[in-house]
Structures are given as structure tokens and as C-alpha cells.
Amino acid sequence: MRELICITCPLGCRLVVDTDEHGEMKVTGNRCVRGEQYAREEMFNPKRVVTFTCAALLPDGSVPGPRSDLPRRVPVRSTVAFPKEKIPELLDALRGITVRLPVVRGTVVLRQALGTEVDVIVARSIASK
């Protein structure tokens, strides 16, 4: 038996995951079908949406300095939840990526990250001045 808290929505259902007499996984405590899906995923293939930042570069390739109003970091996120155990590796990959301004929200910075079907995209449109 394992207790989980469903994080699919703000309700935060307290789930109990158990196996029944046939060895089938059984979820209780959920108030909707998403709770059961969440429990399954969390047990066998936990995933998280990853949000991080990449270094911003000005159009001339320089880093935005303190004279500029522009941010030094560009927020990015995985398009969908990403396998939890691979997150440290993904973060390492993102640390090496720079984003040239201007940039439009949704621009892919890392396609099919680490061999998954998940892309990493820019989460904020930023002008270049």
C-alpha cells in the first residue's frame, strides 16, 4: 500500500494505492478519473513538467548587461510532463542553451529532449530592446 496526494488539480485528493486479490492495482480516495490516472503514472512512470531558464543573448550575441532593461534569462518549459528520473540530465542540457532575442513564446529550444517525445519551448516572448 502506498499513499499519494493527487496533484492534478487544487483539490489534492489523498489517494491510497493498493493491489486487490487478483494482483490488480486499486486506487481509492480519488474524486475523479484523473486521480486514478495520476496514481498509475506516479507508481510506474512519474513525470513532472520542467520549468527552467536559458541564457538570453542580445541580437549582437552579447549578454544583456545592467544597462539593459532586458532579462538575462529566458523562461522555458517542457511541453508536457517529463520523466522524473531524467530531469537532472535535462537541466544540464538546458544550462548549455542560449536564446537569441527577440524570441517568441512557443519557440522550441530543445526538440525531443533526451530521446523522449517532449520538447522544451520558450515560455515568454521577449523583444530585443
Partner 1 sequence: MKELSFDAVVIGGGAAGMAAALELDTRGHSVLIVEREATLGGILMQCIHNGFGLIEFNEELTGPEFAQRFEEDIRNRNIQTSLRTTVLDIREEGGLKAIYCVSPSQGMMRIEARAIVLAMGCRERTRGNIRIPGTRPAGIYTAGLAQRLINIEGFIPGKDVVIIGSGDIGLIMARRMSWSGCKVHAVIEILPYPSGLTRNIVQCLDDFGIPLYLSHLVTNIYGKDRVEGIEVTPIESGALMHEKAFRIACDTVLLSVGLVPENELSRNAGIELQPATNGPWVDSTLMTTMPGVFACGNVLHVHDLVDYVVEEARRAGANAAAWISGYRPERELRVKAGPNIRYVMPMRINLERENRFYMRSLIVKNDARLEVRLDGAVVRSRRLAHVQPSEMLSLMLVPEELSAAGRDSTVEIALL
Partner 2 sequence: MDQFDVAIIGAGVCGANIARKLSQYELDVALLEKEVDVSLGTSKANSGIVHGGFHDHIRTLKARLELRGALMFDRLHEELDFPFERCGILVAALHEDEMKAIEQLYLQGVENGVIGIEMCSRERMLELEPTLNPDVVGGLYAPSGGILEPYRFVFSLVESARNNGVHLKTEFEVESATREADFWRIRAKSGQEIRARYVVNSAGLLADSISAAFGAERFTIVPRKGEYYLLDRSAKAKPSRVIFPVPTEVSKGILVIPTVEGTVLIGPTASPAQNKEDFATTREQLEHVLHTARMMVPSISENDVITSFAGLRAVYGSDFYIALSEKAQAFVQVAGIQSPGLTASPAIGEYVKDLLKKAGLRLVEKSTWDPYVHKVPRARDADPFALDALVAQDPAYGDIVCRCERVSEAEIVAAIRAGHTTLDGIKYYTRAQMGRCQGGFCTYKIIRILMRETGMSFDQITKRGGGSFILKGSL
Question: For 64, which DSSP code?
Answer: P
Looking at 9-128, list the stretches that DSSP marks H as alpha helix, in order from N- to C-terminal side. 33-44, 87-95
Query: Which of partner 2, partner 1, none does residue 11 bind (CB under 5 to 8 Å by kind)?
Result: partner 1
Report the nearest approach of partner 2 to the CB of residue 27 (Å).
Answer: 39
Among residues 103, 122, 121, 99, the alpha carbon closest in space to that of 112 is found at 121
Q: Which is nearer to partner 1, 59 or 106 (CB)?
A: 106
What cell was used for 9?
488539480
For residue 23, how far is the Cα from the chain centroid?
32
Q: Which of residues 85-104 bind partner 1 (CB under 8 A)?
A: 87, 91
Position 108 contacts partner 1 (CB under 8 A): no
| Kind and range of the H or E run holding 60 | none
In the complex, the residues that contact partner 2 under the rule CB under 8 A are: 53, 55, 65-67, 73, 95
The site string for partner 1 over 18-37 (x = CB under 8 A, - otherwise) reads -------------x------
